[in-house]
Amino acid sequence: MTTLFERIGGHATFDSLVRRFYDGVAVDPVLRPMYPDDDLEGAIWRLTAFLEQYWGGPGTYSETRGHPRLRMRHNAFVITPDARDHWLLHMTAAIDSLALAPMDREELMDYLDRAAHAMVNAFDNPPNRRESLL
């Protein structure tokens, strides 16, 4: 049995996915301000390494950053339903650009949709919360 990581093309596919996603983020008025200008490559590496590990690739993410603890790592940042929807818009476009087999696309989208919904932690933009993602 092969992993999704192997089935869809390994590192090259995940790198392409995440870079296409961040192409959308770069011009998005809701999401772009959440990412520090000097760490966009870091964000690309972290998301790529996380997704690769989650889908059966190398454990580089945990080896360098520890347990993913997604909710904990994102809790310091304001993630509203609007931000979630923008994130999903760009991630869906990035996934669709890969022309994956329908079952692989659905498996990936199902997880990312659930994860994006789980990250919502605010329904407004309270002034005491940080507004950028690490």
Condensed to tens digits (0 to 9), the pLDDT of residues 56-102 reads 999 998 888 877 666 656 566 788 999 999 999 999 999 999 999 99
Return the closest-CA partner of residue 132 out of 25, 42, 34: 34
Residue ranges per domain, the chain? 9-119
Asked if pLDDT for residue 50 goes beyond 60, the answer is yes
Any idea which residue has 């999704």 for tokens?
4
Asked if pLDDT for residue 116 goes beyond 90, the answer is yes
Domain 9-119 fold is: Globin-like (1.10.490)
Q: pTM for the whole thing?
A: 0.85
Tell me how crowded residue 114 is: count the other CB atoms within 10 A of its CB: 10
pLDDT at position 65 is 80
Average pLDDT over residues 25-41: 88
Q: What percent of the chain has pLDDT over 90?
A: 66
